[in-house]
Every structure is written in structure tokens, then in C-alpha cells.
Amino acid sequence: MEEMKPMSLNEIRQTGLRALSHELGTVKMIRFLQQFNLGEGDYSIQRHQWFKNQSLEKLIEKLLVQRQNKDK
């Protein structure tokens, strides 16, 4: 059995990229990685700012109206 040595996050990242590149090729590896977007900002803070003046009931009502319109 191969002994496992501790790896830094950078080493793990580099090993993972090499494995992806080996299995998928460069172009498909890039397409695969483009699926994962960490985004920006703090969603929790933004969510509170977006909905601060609306009650849960009002948000649910809006959601139900959107779903009904989508089904038409």
C-alpha cells in the first residue's frame, strides 16, 4: 500500500488539474472547470438587502404568481 503524505492545498489543486487534463484533455478540462463559478460578494448579506422590506408571505405570493405565469 502506498503511504499517503500530507499535501498542501496548492499540491492538491495541481494534482487535480493534472488528473483532469490527463483524463479529459486541455479543452474539455477547461470546459469542465468553467461550470464552477464561486461568484462574488456575500449572498447572505445581499439577500437581506434585496428582501428587507418584504414579508415571507409576500415573497411566497410572488413566487406562486411567477409559477402560475410560467405554466401558461
Distance from C-alpha of 9 to C-alpha of 15, rounded to nearest angstrom? 10
CB 32 within 8 A of CB 20: yes
Distance from C-alpha of 60 to C-alpha of 9, rounded to nearest angstrom? 42
**pLDDT tens series, the chain, 72 aa:** 567 889 999 999 999 999 999 999 999 999 999 998 777 888 889 888 888 888 999 999 999 999 998 877
DSSP 4: P
Angle 39-20-28 from CA coordinates, rounded to 5°? 75
What pLDDT is attached to residue 9?
Answer: 94
| Four-point Cα dihedral 51, 56, 58, 64, nearest 10 | 110
